[in-house]
Amino acid sequence: MFPNDNDNSLYKEAVKFFKMIKENGELTRMIERTYGHVDNLNYVGTIVFRRQIAQRLPAFDAMFKKYAREYGLDWRMLVAIGYQESLLNADAKSPTGVRGLMMLTRKTSKDMGIKDRRDPESSIKGGAKYFALQHKRIPKAISEPDKTWMALASYNVGFYHVADARIITEKRGLDPNKWIDVKTSLPLLAQRKWHKDTKFGYARGWEPVRYVENIRSYYDILRRDDDAVEQTDPEPDIFNILPSVL
């Protein structure tokens, strides 16, 4: 990509730069940030996801967009959370008692001011409010998109377990502000060797890791499809628009 001439100083600086970011770990973090989740969803999984989104999202689309705006979120991220939680099934219920489209616990529903978890709009509102709260609780020192990934993990396993995992990450000599490092510590919360010294104890820490990676995959598909629709929209008929403008 560089000019093939006698002055190769720019090339040497580029080599030096890539050596530096490889040694300090930034290159690995950049690759993870962009591609760390791409193997989670195979071709068939992508087809199934698109089919179910096409069938189920129209009934809730306006609600997702409404509460995403209200809480300053990307509506596609909110949809991805809803799909991961319930496959956009408003009647979903787990053996542990969480239920509804956003799979809220009874306590979370109460804390978010939601009276009926089974009502789709109430569930989406509660889920949006809860995710926005988790995002706000993540320390300001953590930059995006790591902040969002940790907020998603908090939505799944709880903010304090993520905080414990960050402490473990630091003890391991890794960066507690980087998702690529924290996600290797979360599964350790299931091992007594590690969780016995944490404040909030045992957690099935592998679950939020999978949870975040799945949502990242769903979000990427939704974003790509949404961008493709915008790019292929027909141009407006200027001759029908001009009279009203003039």
- The CB density around residue 76, as the number of other CB atoms within 10 Å, is 20
* Sign of torsion over alpha carbons 220, 226, 227, 228: positive
Contact (CB, 8 A) for 102 and 88: no
Active-site residue, 207 included: no
- Look at residue 8 and give its three-state secondary structure: coil
Q: Roughly what angle, to the nearest 10 degrees, separates helices 206-232 and 146-157? A: 130
Q: Which one of the listed residues 26, 85, 213, 235 is annotated catalytic?
A: 85
Q: Is 18 exposed, middle or buried (0-12, 13-18, 19+ CB in 10 A)?
A: exposed
d(CA 215, CA 192): 28
Alpha helices in 57-112 (DSSP H): 61-70, 75-86, 106-111
Residues that are catalytic: 85
